[in-house]
Amino acid sequence: MMKKEGKNGKYHQNIDKDAESNTPMGFKGIFSFFRITAGYMPFNTFRKLLFRLGGVRIGKGTIIERGVKIGEEVNLGRNCIVLRLSRLHHCSLGDGVRVEELSVLRYVSIGRGSKIGRGSLVFGNPSKWMTLGEDVAVGVSWMIDGTGGLEVADHVNLGSHLGGIFTHSGFKHRILGYDFREKDHIERSPVKIGTCSWIGGKVTIQPGVTIGDHSAVLPNSSVSRDVAPYTMVGGVPARPLKRIAIEGDTVNLLPLK
């Protein structure tokens, strides 16, 4: 079961495991059949009807284009748009969220008014879904790994294209010669991105990094250390370049102290 929480349009996982385990396998097969069939229907009204029969919760005014696949535990708020050939599994979208073509979402909760760019891969952890806040803009073909824990606050911009956020690393795992199928030796560390932050295109954010509020990361940078609030960083590895000062609607870039 999915449950709406608060007034901000975010949705969170709320599963009755006992009820889930007692659901007859036959009914699960029927729900799955409705969801698979829905994506091939020629009209949005028919698609939404079959998705609902398959257990998907869909708000009023939502548009789901042909070719979209939706799996279990998916909740779509009002006036969402999911474009063709996207894949949604175990995720929750607030009101007005837009998912562009060829995107894949899994184990993620997204606040209202956010946008996922074309061809982006966004996935969290089954035990703890990753969260994107309200009015978050994700560019084209981003790789967002939230398996180690990821929190992106409200009003964050994630580049124009081809960026990556990583919360796990297989570096030591492979250097030490462990089989790639073994997961016990993979290191995971959460990432947090503060409110009103701007992340440029082709940026890589490494595991364990916290980016403060009102910060900026220049394009083509690799962030391996924490970024203080109101700071602009850039380079490989990224280093502080400017202080950000806000006066009303004016943003000033000042020298570092």
Note the pLDDT tens digit of each residue in 39-72.
999 999 999 999 999 999 999 999 999 999 999 9
How far apart, in whole angstroms, are the C-alpha atoms of residue 249 and residue 217? 20
Of 11-25, 61-75, 82-96, 101-115, the poorest mean pLDDT is in: 11-25
Q: Quick one: pLDDT at residue 9?
A: 46
Strand ranges of the sheet holding 98-99, from the earlier edge strand across to the other edge: 63-64, 81-82, 98-99, 115-116, 137-140, 157-161, 198-199, 216-217, 231-234, 239-247, 250-254
Higher pLDDT, 157 or 182: 157
Q: Global pTM? A: 0.87
pLDDT in tens, 96-129: 999 999 999 999 999 999 999 999 999 999 998 9
Q: Are 6 and 18 in contact (CB under 8 A)?
A: no
- What are the chain's domains? 103-254 (2.160.10.10)
20/150 Cα distance (integer angstroms):
27
What is the chain's mean pLDDT, rounded? 89
Pair 245, 232: CB distance under 8 Å: no
Higher pLDDT, 26 or 214: 214
Q: Which helix (H) or strand (E) holds 198?
A: strand 198-199
Quick check: 139 and 201 in contact, CB under 8 A? yes
